[in-house]
Structure 1
Amino acid sequence: METPFPHYEPNGPNDEARGPRLRDIPVRLLVPNMITVLAICAGLSGVRLAFEGRFELAVAMVLIAAFLDGIDGRVARLMKATSKFGVQMDSLADIVNFGVAPALVSFAYVLDEARSVGWIAALLYVIAAGLRLARFNVMAERDVKAKWQSEYFVGVPAPAGAMLVLLPVYLGLIGVEMGRTLAFFASAYTVLIAFLLVSRLPVWSGKSENRVRRDLVLPVILAVVIYVATLMSFTWETMVITAVAYLATLPFGAWAWEKKYGGKWPEHPEEVREDGLPVERH
């Protein structure tokens, strides 16, 4: 039966076949895309809740959106359900969940007290998130990658940026009084996070650490349980500590880079030579 909707082709149109195609699509190919769509719904719902004044739910929805957006690609790889459609869908969702949603929630909660300054800060953060995601996509698509790409990000990753930029909101939710003066400080902080997103600061990714020593298995499990328990019981206090701790680790990541690789990032870190080393410009 003909339908008004085009057929879903996860890897693009198949030129070998013509006319209507009734081939069924495996459910496993739809699951990652469904997670991506749910992430977009959560992020945009967070924006709506923020403008309705329900900020705790708004922040929770944005964090859930960031979490879902962060796992959809991993789910696709685990289920062997990667597709060109999913890659494009995920890229479009990232700018909403890691850029627009946290910026608007922060603006509705505190940045609007700074008027135009707060709005400019929110705009800069969204633009920086878009640039950061574009740079990440360019680097990820290269066939030849530098050795350090398995260990370090170039600049703070967008999911972490979404978590960090909401720090003023976390503080407000634990009782810190927000006013015009703090709104200007929050605006400056938002610009700082925007700068960290597009900077060439080496940030340890943790992707190369895929094994845990046997004697550390139980302590790691216990630490995760404690963190989740505190997150459930003291949500915003835990998020404040998490954001501050993440910021505190950034200098150590740069120090570790300097110690292991010695030298500075190339001017264009998305460019590497055929042997996988960064392109050095003089």
Structure 2
Amino acid sequence: MIGFYNYTVILTYISFISAVAGIFSAAAMQLRWAIFFLAFSGFCDMFDGKIARMKKDRTEDEKSFGIQIDSLCDMVCFGALPIIICYRLGMDRIYGMAILALYGLAGLIRLGYFNVMEAKRQAEDGGARKYYQGLPITSMAIALPVLFVISPLFPSHLAFVVVLHIVVGLVGFLFVLNFKVRKPSVKEVLLIVGVVAFAVAVIVFAWRSWWELVNSRG
């Protein structure tokens, strides 16, 4: 079979399968599970590069394949899946769909640019990146679960949808804005994982209780 199937790409493949499950969930209006699969894909993406670099004898073909497959997977996980989720959450008017289309386009441009520059960087100095150029596309795997879990705090669903439009448009714009973002340290990564894991746990396991608590206080 063509392709590579060693442990350096296994998390990328798992991330893709998770995104497909998320797409099915969103299509069936199982939005809590769609958010879960989005966050799980983000979790896999946080560690796939670290695992790949553990293999010191990677060939140039394996390195190049890793760059390409990672971006292709990211376009599905953090491009297509969030678009479908947000459409189902209420971005189903023409202006909302326009924002989602531009979000997807910004992600596509960012990933294509990343592939070109990352291949060039690895050829020159190799090693792990210290900075991101522009906001990483995986950021939506953090922003959307957190926004979803605080959605009961909004005064109305309309208010939540308005904020959702703003967040999606802003995140998409930051994908292609030329600025540097320092890669998070191990402690910062663990903190991010903890926050998103908590949000996802609330969404999946305690959503009804969370709604009742908020409504009782309102």
User: Into which bin does the TM-score normalised by the smaller protein fall?
Assistant: 0.7 to 0.9
Contact (CA 8 Å) 2:146, 2:199: kept in 1 or not?
no
Q: Distance in 2 between matches of 1:230 and 1:62?
A: 11
Structure 2: unaligned runs, 5 residues or longer: 204-218
Residue 67 of structure 1 corresponds to 43
When Rg is computed on C-alpha atoms for both structures, the one with the higher figure is 1
Q: Distance in 2 between matches of 1:89 and 1:81?
A: 19
The answer to which structure has the higher helix fraction is 2
Residue 141 of structure 1 corresponds to 119
Q: What per-residue deviation string (whole Å, max 9, x for no partner) do you get for residues 114-134 of structure 1?
A: x11111111111111111112
TM-score under structure 2 normalisation?
A: 0.73
Displaced runs of 4+ in structure 1, greater than 3 A? 7-10, 79-82, 84-87, 165-168, 174-182, 227-237
Contact (CA 8 Å) 1:111, 1:119: kept in 2 or not?
yes
Mapped pair 1:158 → 2:132: no
CA-CA distance at 1:199 after TM superposition: 0.3
CA-CA distance at 1:98 after TM superposition: 1.6
Match of 2:180 among 186, 202, 207: 202
Residue 176 of structure 1 corresponds to 154
For 1:36, the aligned partner's letter is T
Query: Within 5 A, what are the aligned runs for 1:81-230?
Result: 82=58, 83=62, 84-112=64-92, 115-142=93-120, 143-144=123-124, 150-172=129-151, 174=152, 176=154, 178-206=156-184, 228=194
Q: Distance in 1 between matches of 2:9 and 2:95?
A: 37
For 1:61, the aligned partner's letter is F
Q: Identity rate of aligned residues, in percent?
A: 22
Structure 1: unaligned runs, 5 residues or longer: 1-6, 11-28, 211-219, 238-282
Q: Distance in 2 between matches of 1:202 and 1:93?
A: 23
SS of 1:121's equivalent in the other structure is: helix
Instruction: Count how many residue pairs are aligned between Structure 1 and Structure 2.
Output: 194
Stretch deviating more after TM superposition (134-143 or 74-83): 74-83
SS of 2:33's equivalent in the other structure is: helix
For 2:2, the aligned partner's letter is Y
SS of 1:153's equivalent in the other structure is: strand
Contact (CA 8 Å) 1:40, 1:65: kept in 2 or not?
yes
